[in-house]
Amino acid sequence: MSRPSRYSADFRARAVRLVAEARPEHQTEWAAMTSVAAKLGVSAETVRKWIRRAEVDVGVRPGTTSEESAEIKRLQRENAELRRANEILKSASAFFAAELDRPQSR
């Protein structure tokens, strides 16, 4: 199970927006990220990851979107649950088949 984020979605979106607004004032995107990160009290690497994730989510950068990742995780959990249920059913059917094969004592 994934751990809850330390920062809210609104905070992350604000950081991404601030970097986009600060970009023209800096020579590089990294300089803008570093500046915004310092103002918000987070690491520049954290802001960089948020920006890259936002770029993937809007389709600017290739990759799996946040929505697709969540769906994949949900399907993996469901798949694991179904596999467990199948194993239980196999064990139960083997048990009952063995019971039916035993000779009846009268």
Predicted local distance difference test score (pLDDT) of residue 3: 66
Predicted local distance difference test score (pLDDT) of residue 75: 97
For 13-53, the DSSP string reads HHHHHHHHHHGGGSSSHHHHHHHHHHHHTS-HHHHHHHHHH
Per-residue pLDDT tens over the stretch 74-89: 999 999 999 999 999 9
pTM greater than 0.75:
no
Per-residue pLDDT tens over the stretch 46-64: 999 999 999 999 989 999 9
Contact assessment for residue 52 and residue 42, using Cβ atoms and an 8 Å cutoff: no
Per-residue pLDDT tens over the stretch 9-36: 999 999 999 999 999 999 999 999 999 9
Q: Which helix (H) or strand (E) holds 103?
A: none
Predicted local distance difference test score (pLDDT) of residue 100: 78
Contact assessment for residue 32 and residue 22, using Cβ atoms and an 8 Å cutoff: yes
Predicted local distance difference test score (pLDDT) of residue 99: 79
pLDDT band at 102; cut points 50, 70, 90? confident
Predicted local distance difference test score (pLDDT) of residue 2: 59
